[in-house]
Amino acid sequence: MTGLEVQTAESMQALGERIGHRCRPGDLIVLAGDLGSGKTTLVQGLGRALGVTEQITSPTFVIARVHVTDIGLPQLVHVDAYRLGSVLEFDDLGLDADFAESVMVVEWGEGKAEQLSSDYLTVQIVRADDGSDETRRVDIRAVGDRWTARDLELIVGP
């Protein structure tokens, strides 16, 4: 597990961008964190790395959004599993059909999305205790063989 502190929303987007630059088709990224912790902000940076030009917002009410990316890059499937109660409800979305050609990022996906792949990245975001502090603690963990120690090194950055 690799951890770092993120001080601002711009820094969270930059972290997402570093993750996005390491992504390839079939990648699964599972995001965990409280409401307002910065999950969607991270996805905005990831989308920027993939060439998404439209605004990325939380798909809370539509559950999933597919974002068009630059030619030659995998599309971004952004899922919010907050309102899904079980693995079966997640499975009913039929997201595995888009999975092989896409980068799939699932907010609130722990315990639900991991069934899509034996290789995935988990990103846990925890806000600082002080309500006036934007600092987040971000822990990144690779599961399986897809994400290497070098990938994590490049993601965490300077």
Tokens 């597919």 correspond to 66
Give the SS3 label for residue 115. Answer: helix
The token duo for 65 is: 């959004």
Q: How long a stretch of residues is the chain?
A: 158
Predicted local distance difference test score (pLDDT) of residue 145: 95
What residue type is 79 in one-letter code? Answer: V
Q: Across-strand partners of 137?
A: 5, 126
- pTM, two decimals, is 0.90
The CATH number for 2-156, chosen from 3.30.2010.10, 3.40.710.10, 3.40.50.300, 3.30.70.1350, is 3.40.50.300
Predicted local distance difference test score (pLDDT) of residue 114: 84
* Rounded Cα gap, residues 39 and 63, in angstroms: 15
Predicted local distance difference test score (pLDDT) of residue 16: 97
Q: How many CA atoms within 13 Å lie on the side-chain side of 154?
A: 12
Predicted local distance difference test score (pLDDT) of residue 7: 92
- C-beta of residue 105 within 8 angstroms of C-beta of residue 31: yes
Tens digit of pLDDT at every position of the chain (158 positions): 788 999 999 999 999 999 999 999 999 999 999 988 999 999 999 999 999 999 999 877 777 888 889 999 999 999 888 766 655 566 656 666 667 889 999 998 888 788 888 999 999 999 877 667 789 999 999 999 999 999 999 999 76
Give the SS3 label for residue 6. Answer: strand
Going from N- to C-terminal start, the domains of the chain cover 2-156
Predicted local distance difference test score (pLDDT) of residue 19: 97
- C-beta of residue 103 within 8 angstroms of C-beta of residue 74: yes
